[in-house]
Structure 1
Amino acid sequence: MQTTRLGNTDITVSRICLGTMTFGQQNTEADAHAQLDYAVAQGVNFIDTAEMYPVRPSAETYTLTEQYIGRWIATQPRDSVVLASKVAGPSRGMPWVRNGKLDADNIRQAIDASLKRLQTDHLDLYQIHWPARNVPNFGQTSFNPDNEREAESIDAQLRVMDELVRAGKIRHFGVSNESAYGVMEFLHLADKHGLPVVATIQNPYSLVNRSFEEALDEVCFRTGVGLLAYSPLGFGQLTGKYIDDENAHGRLNVFGKDWSPRYLRDKTLAATRRYIDIARRHGLTPTQLALGWCYSRWFVNSTIIGATTLAQLKENIDAQHVVLTDEIVAEVNAVHEQIRNPAQ
């Protein structure tokens, strides 16, 4: 397993990170622990979760993911894994997640609850799951000033992260679903006031959503912030299973057509069909192509993979050994130029 430095920190992580948002919804606790055991045995030392998990979120399953991981963590040497979690941003139809604010009191409540569930005294990385302010994300493709709202300032969020670092509750903090402006403002204010710098950004990146390449790649290159790429398989669409069988079992069918519709757009399906064709013509599975693409990109610090079965997890991890030829890369880029970021 290849390793790298986590963003601009001194922490060494595997280039593959185990995502856990299926734990408690699509996976039982026994499934979760089996996945954790298998991933660690393959050299994965980086685990990502969130207080709002599992997905699709509900009041009944809220916090189960962290609880499952916590009972597993309690059986492991704490320094053998790099553990990351996230504090939820303003409510997206989830009134059960406190009051949907990112003020100091809410962040303090969130970290203390996560630490208790995860059965640890600190997190290696604590991330703001999505911004407090108006930002286009989760399928929105452009900024809309009409969506402006009152929001906790970046300065206020930085100051409470500084407090948590000083208290030893977190080692570093990161952002998620952020924009280039947001990353630069976090860094600007940190430098201005002597506060902790943002270490990582966890944003979507896949064959059907390469929007990270349109500004954030340069930001991260010049600042040392690391990309933690999520949804590298486009919620399973890029595995080809839904193209091969529209009734295939998976979250896009289990959760309903209103869940993450960006992965069901006509252009997304058209691009996916072409990527599947490229993969199969070159003797690869669609999963191998999609993950091989993410694993090989210079700006991807670590790729977050998730699975509902051990067989899927094995294929996802094994894809680290896939070598994409110049011919394959050229064909992928040709599709991208014709159908740009259909799942943004």
Structure 2
Amino acid sequence: MSYYIEKQDYRNLGQSNLLISPITLGTMTFGEQNTEAEAFLQLDWAISHGINFIDTAEMYPVPPKENTFTATEIIIGNWLKKQKRDDIVLATKAAGPRRSLHWIRNGPKAFDEQNFRAALEGSLKRLQTDYIDLYQLHWPERNVPMFGQYKFDPSGEMEGSKLKEWVSINEQLEALAKLVQEGKIKYIGISNEQSWGVMEFIRIAREKNLPLIASVQNCYNLINRGLEFGMTEIFYREKIGFLAYSPLAFGHLTGKYLKNIDEKGRVTLFKGFAQRYDKPNVFPAVRAYEALALKHDMTLTEMALAFVYHQWFVTSTIIGATSVDQLKENIEAFKRRLPQELLDDIERIHLTHMNPAP
């Protein structure tokens, strides 16, 4: 019998009243690697096995393309209209500037009220719903390292001889507050953020009585644990929820790319899309983790997922799949608790191959 996520395992997302499953269904394959029918199978299976939280974005599916963006939200909307809406916790994201996505709202040029409103109205229409439970900024508007970059570069602050302008976090929060007041958003979250940004969102919200972020959604897995260098203290002290994405590191932590570099997956299907994992120490680290999993009579997939699932600071882990069989394997890993001996061995490997995929 397939594993079922029980209600007692649900958690509140940060300081919100959203009660979410510890596993979230990610949907970035819907409309690219998965058809609508395949997506419906995944959605139905996930909901029937205790998952109540679905995460998407206006930009999806990935990789982002002019002829496919918004397809994921459309698919979910076609499914959602046949569900009991209040049983589903739905999250989506607004795309911002700093990426070459000129087909999204002509830019988009900024995280201002005009763009937030246009992005949200588009998502509501596609998702066929009146409200979004968690509305997230897909990435910061300001200059920060992200998606495989790992160093802050002050030169990115300049555009020629002029300082680049960006919408202040205060103005972003004021714009989002209006959408919350209108009932179109319940809570807000941020994604792919850095420590300074997280604390600014918290500080300004409290000082100006603006909406407090419920969550941060960042990458976290065995070969990318950078947020442990300070971000986890923020989660603890400020009571912010954490949504971990990419727990299997774009499939690297299944071990499939060790065996066959031409193995079908996002890394090989979409060249250049997985730059975070195109770094020299990724494969040595994955080999070491695979050997450790085998030593403990586990698959690498199972060990990698169980490690993320049960970290004290992880509110929910976002899993994505291209088949129900993969979903089943991923959900069943939740019942595994890694023994201390194995966790100690993971730390030894981590200290030898620290964060090879920042």
TM range (shorter): over 0.9
CA–CA distance in 2 between the matches of 1:262 and 1:91? 17
Look up the match of 1:123.
132
Look up the match of 2:61.
54
Instruction: Please state if 1:38 is matched with 2:45.
Output: yes
Look up the match of 1:86.
93
| Paired amino acid for 1:43 | G
Look up the match of 1:295.
309
CA–CA distance in 2 between the matches of 1:301 and 1:7? 8
Look up the match of 1:72.
79
Gaps of 5+ in 1: none
Instruction: Please state if 1:150 is matched with 2:165.
Output: yes
Q: Secondary structure at the match of 1:58?
A: coil
Out of 180, 200, 215, the residue aligned to residue 195 of structure 2 is: 180
Out of 28, 37, 49, the residue aligned to residue 35 of structure 2 is: 28
Q: Secondary structure at the match of 2:135?
A: strand
Cα deviation for residue 91 of structure 1 reads 4.2
Look up the match of 1:114.
123
| Paired amino acid for 2:21 | S
Look up the match of 2:343.
329
- Contact kept? 2:147, 2:275, Cα under 8 Å: no
Describe how 1:211-230 pairs up with structure 2 within 5 A. 211-230=226-245
Q: Secondary structure at the match of 2:281?
A: helix
Look up the match of 1:269.
283
CA–CA distance in 2 between the matches of 1:262 and 1:280? 26
Alpha-carbon displacement from aligned partner over 1:135-178 (angstroms, at most 9, x marks no partner): 11111111111111321110111001100110000000000000
Look up the match of 2:13.
6
Out of 302, 309, 314, the residue aligned to residue 323 of structure 2 is: 309
Q: State which drifts further: 264-273 or 218-227.
A: 264-273
Cα deviation for residue 264 of structure 1 reads 2.7
CA–CA distance in 2 between the matches of 1:150 and 1:286? 45
CA–CA distance in 2 between the matches of 1:285 and 1:226? 29
- Contact kept? 2:98, 2:141, Cα under 8 Å: no
- Contact kept? 1:91, 1:97, Cα under 8 Å: no
CA–CA distance in 2 between the matches of 1:158 and 1:42? 36
- Flag as ranges the 4+ runs of structure 1 deviating above 6 A: none
Cα deviation for residue 245 of structure 1 reads 1.5
Look up the match of 2:252.
237
Give the TM-score normalised by the residue count of structure 2.
Answer: 0.95
Q: How many pairs does the alignment contain?
A: 343
CA–CA distance in 2 between the matches of 1:196 and 1:94? 28
- Contact kept? 2:140, 2:193, Cα under 8 Å: yes
- Contact kept? 1:262, 1:268, Cα under 8 Å: no
Describe how 1:134-213 pairs up with structure 2 within 5 A. 134-148=143-157, 149-213=164-228
Alpha-carbon displacement from aligned partner over 1:309-328 (angstroms, at most 9, x marks no partner): 11111101111011101111
CA–CA distance in 2 between the matches of 1:170 and 1:95? 25
CA–CA distance in 1 between the matches of 2:284 and 2:99? 29
Q: Secondary structure at the match of 2:301?
A: helix
Alpha-carbon displacement from aligned partner over 1:321-341 (angstroms, at most 9, x marks no partner): 111011110111111111111
Look up the match of 2:332.
318
Cα deviation for residue 265 of structure 1 reads 1.7
- Contact kept? 1:131, 1:176, Cα under 8 Å: yes
CA–CA distance in 2 between the matches of 1:143 and 1:246? 31
- Contact kept? 2:187, 2:214, Cα under 8 Å: yes
Instruction: Please state if 1:254 is matched with 2:254.
Output: no
- Contact kept? 2:28, 2:56, Cα under 8 Å: yes
